[in-house]
Structure 1
């Protein structure tokens, strides 16, 4: 009984639920769809597409060791997926298709259409839980709804973890050889520029590279994670997000690595491990939000009343933010990190997002889109969740909305100015006091070539507060 494994955001053979299930049921072939039109509509970054292709090449070699051929088919978008998959099934006498669940509204619609089309042709469809620890709908409030506040969601997750830890799936054993050959993996896709070699070298592809990064983090850094994760000049974060977004690592692998570093504990013991497990659960939370509140997949605010915020249209200020020339060093350094590496430190993501949505009062959707177009770890759930949290349109237990001051954040989390000096060499000559706010030196002493701030932080803060007061929201005086 020939099986088809349809790879999507799960580019690995270890701990892969759908692959394991397919190979346990019969001879298996694998498929990957290249869909450039869909990727463009989803604002997928060129560096992320390149990362997918590089990981596909590694996956193809790993599958070859299992005697599983990997077929590559191209279609413009997901509307064509049912017919393309069915054609592959007919060509190779496939009786069942296996895939791991994805949770955006477009992904869910795609899978329903594929399943219905295959059913018409007596081909079975099997979807599997894989990119989450808990199936959406299994972590609910007492009234049966999806959680809207992370802390309450985390509490129920802890209860489930205490009852049973999600187990990892065994690596499949090689099947009998098949005469079918794998297809060549494309080196590039039209419409997506090739990133620099410097960027590519920061993110080596393949499961082995991902495992090594996870093991190194768990062995050397996770214990310090709570204390160092907010300091962008320190190697305090795991930098595993691109591998999780592409499915080169599973959340189960990450959870078990953390538990191994903390004597099996996830809510006690080493504070660094507990904090990192909480970050895994934040990732989980935002994906459950996609399912429970599908409006966020439609570019709508999680809090419907915030659709009435009077966002400003300020294209010149938006461009200054995008290009890292706002005159606020921590903002500009963070944006340059994003543009050159395809990644941004998480603390900085919050700082630049609040600056755009609060100090510039520009619609969070502009920032969300720009991030997706540049992030190698771009993920709808996490990116949307983070932007809406920062913009006070999303999930947040606080009864008022917060505004980070970029200068005080810079002073607190880059106290020596090391991160700023790295990304803004034009400010390297300033001391650790002045580097956070060069404008305070005055026109005569400010460094030449670096712009003045594009906005007054105090007045712009009051403007944002007034915009939310107009919604009747409780805000600080």
Structure 2
């Protein structure tokens, strides 16, 4: 289809940035003074692209509906296409005779390879193709050690980030978007069947979450107004509602880290005491997200390969499927672990402190490879993030960057006594706890801890 030059559109390719506010690619496209074709591509076919887990697919379904509504209110629409992104974007540019294609950058190796191919193909045809920084405050290649390499320890990494140029202000959301007046075919979202049906877990997810940009901004506002002051002192208590609940909104880009950063700093400037300290602590957690992506950029196989090669020698025993299943479904006989795993299955999320305890139990008490846990979290978390999820599992295992010391084994009973002393979180998620219906303990904590430490000593002794 050929159009007069003034009517050639700009294609805005949405990915993990399902918002209109602080969307640098969309902002740049609007400055071209061209009509906009907004597209989301469900790419499950390009080499190396990891298929989404069930909970994440549900979130994506809801978030795309929200984004489509927001675009329609501004006079535009969201085009949905499915297939390898190289082919889909090429077809869309041909169909619309687009003059430009823009997107916000991704940082996994497979995603970067796709983006590079598309940019090269577009530029070879004389079509403007540009990418922008919209998902990270500090892009991985901009933060380097004194020797010019990547960081492997968080504290110096974050210190280097804070010494760099401060994050840019958020870009305002548009008030109108000129649509392209041609015909563009779009898939019907329902045909993608993103919501899980076998089993149908959508009811619990709907009950606990509202995806979309509006809900993301509301969550940030609510956290800053009501919970920030207690964040530093109470964030490890799973029964306390003092966390931001922003992780899935950040994972899907319904809110940008720039928006979170500047909104938090604005509150900090007028705060003192605990609120000021909590603001620093909260932004440091945002820093851990940055660090996970820094590591992923330099170690693209983070979800499958030990970052520290010495751990390839770890003597994992033969997998016990029944033990893994008991852990997955919260029937280990250890209440805090079971509460977390049931919360995960019911809500698609788990309190961060409990995530560490549940992960430690799988790896160091059951001696099950961390990759089994990473895969389960990938399928069940609504915030299953390609960087933070494997980074966290390798941190607990001791095989990753800035990892927990190999001898750190989270004792679930001591952790429960410290962080859930009234058993409020446990009883909310394990209603039969304390009755004959509750399962017996799967293992002996002392014996399994000793076995784990012996196995880790073998790894330690192979390190050169």
Q: Is the structural similarity TM-score above 0.5?
A: yes
Structure 1 401/57 Cα, relative in aligned 2: closer, same or farther at 3 Å?
A: same
The runs of 5 or more residues in structure 1 that have no matched partner are 431-446
Question: Aligned partners of 2:375, 2:150: CA distance in 1, in Å?
Answer: 26
Aligned pairs for 1:227-266 within 5 A: 227-263=233-269
Contact 1:230/1:236 (<8 A) preserved = no
TM norm structure 1 = 0.89
What is the match of residue 448 of structure 2? 460
Question: Aligned partners of 2:431, 2:121: CA distance in 1, in Å?
Answer: 57
* Offset of residue 169 of structure 1: 1.0
Structure 1 45/255 Cα, relative in aligned 2: closer, same or farther at 3 Å?
A: same
The runs of 5 or more residues in structure 2 that have no matched partner are 1-7
TM norm structure 2 = 0.91
Structure 1 417/268 Cα, relative in aligned 2: closer, same or farther at 3 Å?
A: closer
- Secondary structure (helix, strand or coil) at the match of 2:190 reads coil
Structure 1 220/269 Cα, relative in aligned 2: closer, same or farther at 3 Å?
A: closer
Question: Aligned partners of 2:432, 2:153: CA distance in 1, in Å?
Answer: 42
Aligned residues: 450
Structure 1 349/132 Cα, relative in aligned 2: closer, same or farther at 3 Å?
A: same
Question: Aligned partners of 1:373, 1:61: CA distance in 2, in Å?
Answer: 27
Question: Pick from 51, 75, 87: which aligns with 1:67?
Answer: 75
Structure 1 383/177 Cα, relative in aligned 2: closer, same or farther at 3 Å?
A: closer
Question: Aligned partners of 2:135, 2:273: CA distance in 1, in Å?
Answer: 22
Kindly provide the CA deviation profile for residues 201-229 of structure 1, in whole angstroms up to 9, marking residues without a partner as x.
32112211111111010111011101111
Contact 2:216/2:255 (<8 A) preserved = yes
* Offset of residue 192 of structure 1: 5.0
Question: Aligned partners of 2:450, 2:237: CA distance in 1, in Å?
Answer: 28
1:293 aligns with 2:299: yes
What is the match of residue 110 of structure 2? 106
1:145 aligns with 2:135: no
- Secondary structure (helix, strand or coil) at the match of 2:240 reads coil
RMSD: 2.4
Contact 1:95/1:123 (<8 A) preserved = yes
- Secondary structure (helix, strand or coil) at the match of 1:146 reads coil
Contact 1:232/1:345 (<8 A) preserved = yes
What is the match of residue 92 of structure 2? 88
* Offset of residue 61 of structure 1: 2.0
1:165 aligns with 2:161: no
Question: Aligned partners of 2:381, 2:191: CA distance in 1, in Å?
Answer: 17
Question: Pick from 3, 7, 10: which aligns with 1:3?
Answer: 10
Question: Pick from 427, 437, 441: which aligns with 1:449?
Answer: 437
Contact 1:5/1:99 (<8 A) preserved = yes
1:156 aligns with 2:157: no
What is the match of residue 24 of structure 2? 17
